Amino acid sequence: MNGLQAYQRVSTQTSITDADPHKLIQLLYNGALERINMAKARMQAGDIEGKSRLIGKAIEIVGGLKSFLDFERGGELAERLEGLYDYMERTLFEANARNDVAKLDEVASLLRQIKEGWDGIREEVVQHQQAV
Protein backbone atom coordinates (compact mmCIF):
# COMPACT_ATOMS: atom_id res chain seq x y z
CA MET A 1 0.00 0.00 0.00
CA ASN A 2 1.38 3.39 -0.87
CA GLY A 3 1.23 6.50 1.27
CA LEU A 4 -1.68 7.97 -0.64
CA GLN A 5 -3.84 4.91 -0.06
CA ALA A 6 -2.91 4.89 3.64
CA TYR A 7 -3.85 8.55 3.83
CA GLN A 8 -7.21 7.90 2.20
CA ARG A 9 -7.98 5.32 4.87
CA VAL A 10 -6.91 7.69 7.66
CA SER A 11 -8.65 10.90 6.83
CA THR A 12 -12.22 11.46 5.87
CA GLN A 13 -12.19 15.05 7.08
CA THR A 14 -9.58 16.55 4.77
CA SER A 15 -9.48 15.95 1.06
CA ILE A 16 -6.19 14.91 -0.49
CA THR A 17 -6.15 18.03 -2.62
CA ASP A 18 -6.32 20.18 0.53
CA ALA A 19 -3.34 18.55 2.24
CA ASP A 20 0.23 19.51 1.49
CA PRO A 21 2.84 16.74 1.86
CA HIS A 22 3.77 17.84 5.38
CA LYS A 23 0.15 17.85 6.51
CA LEU A 24 -0.36 14.46 4.88
CA ILE A 25 2.37 12.95 7.06
CA GLN A 26 0.84 14.59 10.15
CA LEU A 27 -2.48 12.95 9.30
CA LEU A 28 -0.79 9.57 8.91
CA TYR A 29 0.85 9.88 12.34
CA ASN A 30 -2.50 10.86 13.86
CA GLY A 31 -4.24 7.97 12.13
CA ALA A 32 -1.69 5.41 13.29
CA LEU A 33 -1.88 6.64 16.88
CA GLU A 34 -5.66 6.63 16.79
CA ARG A 35 -5.76 3.04 15.46
CA ILE A 36 -3.29 1.87 18.10
CA ASN A 37 -5.33 3.45 20.90
CA MET A 38 -8.52 1.91 19.54
CA ALA A 39 -6.79 -1.48 19.19
CA LYS A 40 -5.64 -1.27 22.79
CA ALA A 41 -9.22 -0.70 23.93
CA ARG A 42 -10.45 -3.62 21.79
CA MET A 43 -7.65 -5.82 23.17
CA GLN A 44 -8.59 -4.96 26.74
CA ALA A 45 -12.26 -5.65 25.95
CA GLY A 46 -11.41 -9.07 24.53
CA ASP A 47 -12.53 -8.15 21.00
CA ILE A 48 -9.96 -10.17 19.04
CA GLU A 49 -11.41 -9.39 15.61
CA GLY A 50 -11.62 -5.65 16.24
CA LYS A 51 -8.15 -5.55 17.74
CA SER A 52 -6.66 -7.43 14.79
CA ARG A 53 -8.39 -5.20 12.23
CA LEU A 54 -7.19 -2.01 13.93
CA ILE A 55 -3.63 -3.22 14.36
CA GLY A 56 -3.63 -4.23 10.70
CA LYS A 57 -4.66 -0.70 9.76
CA ALA A 58 -1.93 0.76 11.98
CA ILE A 59 0.61 -1.48 10.22
CA GLU A 60 -0.67 -0.26 6.83
CA ILE A 61 -0.30 3.36 7.93
CA VAL A 62 3.25 2.81 9.18
CA GLY A 63 3.96 1.23 5.78
CA GLY A 64 2.51 4.36 4.19
CA LEU A 65 4.84 6.52 6.27
CA LYS A 66 7.73 4.38 5.12
CA SER A 67 6.72 4.86 1.47
CA PHE A 68 7.07 8.64 1.83
CA LEU A 69 10.73 8.47 2.89
CA ASP A 70 13.03 10.36 0.52
CA PHE A 71 16.39 8.61 0.66
CA GLU A 72 18.06 11.11 -1.71
CA ARG A 73 17.28 14.18 0.36
CA GLY A 74 16.84 12.45 3.72
CA GLY A 75 20.06 10.45 3.67
CA GLU A 76 20.94 8.86 6.98
CA LEU A 77 17.80 10.17 8.69
CA ALA A 78 15.58 8.45 6.10
CA GLU A 79 17.53 5.22 6.57
CA ARG A 80 17.12 5.37 10.34
CA LEU A 81 13.41 6.11 10.03
CA GLU A 82 13.02 3.17 7.65
CA GLY A 83 14.60 0.90 10.26
CA LEU A 84 12.39 2.35 12.97
CA TYR A 85 9.25 1.92 10.86
CA ASP A 86 10.26 -1.70 10.15
CA TYR A 87 10.67 -2.24 13.89
CA MET A 88 7.25 -0.69 14.54
CA GLU A 89 5.59 -2.96 11.98
CA ARG A 90 7.17 -6.06 13.55
CA THR A 91 6.29 -4.90 17.06
CA LEU A 92 2.67 -4.25 16.08
CA PHE A 93 2.50 -7.71 14.53
CA GLU A 94 3.85 -9.21 17.78
CA ALA A 95 1.41 -7.15 19.85
CA ASN A 96 -1.42 -8.57 17.79
CA ALA A 97 -0.19 -12.17 18.00
CA ARG A 98 0.47 -12.02 21.76
CA ASN A 99 -2.25 -9.59 22.88
CA ASP A 100 0.54 -7.45 24.31
CA VAL A 101 -0.64 -4.00 25.39
CA ALA A 102 2.92 -3.00 26.33
CA LYS A 103 4.04 -3.46 22.72
CA LEU A 104 1.19 -1.24 21.52
CA ASP A 105 2.24 1.38 24.08
CA GLU A 106 5.87 1.13 22.90
CA VAL A 107 4.97 1.77 19.27
CA ALA A 108 2.59 4.60 20.22
CA SER A 109 5.37 6.23 22.25
CA LEU A 110 7.80 5.99 19.32
CA LEU A 111 5.24 7.43 16.92
CA ARG A 112 4.45 10.31 19.29
CA GLN A 113 8.14 11.20 19.55
CA ILE A 114 8.59 11.27 15.79
CA LYS A 115 5.31 13.16 15.34
CA GLU A 116 6.39 15.83 17.84
CA GLY A 117 9.52 16.48 15.79
CA TRP A 118 7.52 16.53 12.57
CA ASP A 119 4.93 18.90 14.04
CA GLY A 120 7.75 21.12 15.29
CA ILE A 121 9.00 21.86 11.78
CA ARG A 122 5.55 22.71 10.36
CA GLU A 123 6.06 26.48 10.36
CA GLU A 124 9.45 26.16 8.67
CA VAL A 125 7.96 23.91 5.98
CA VAL A 126 5.06 26.28 5.30
CA GLN A 127 7.42 29.25 5.00
CA HIS A 128 9.62 27.30 2.58
CA GLN A 129 6.61 26.32 0.45
CA GLN A 130 5.44 29.94 0.29
CA ALA A 131 8.92 31.07 -0.79
CA VAL A 132 8.97 28.55 -3.64
With bands split at pLDDT 50, 70 and 90, how would you rate the model's confidence at 1? very low
List, for residues 47-77, the tens digit of each pLDDT value. Answer: 999 999 999 999 999 999 999 999 999 999 9
> Which is nearest to 111 in space by CA: 75, 58, 41, 53?
58
Average pLDDT over residues 3-10: 51
Per the CB < 8 A criterion, the answer to whether 68 and 12 are in contact is no
Helices 3-10 and 48-67, packing angle to 10 deg = 140
Domains with residue ranges and CATH for the chain: 20-131 (1.20.120.340)
Query: What pTM did the predictor assign?
Result: 0.82
Q: Residue 12 and residue 9: Cα distance in Å, rounded?
A: 8
Residue 73 — φ and ψ, nearest 5°?
-85, -30
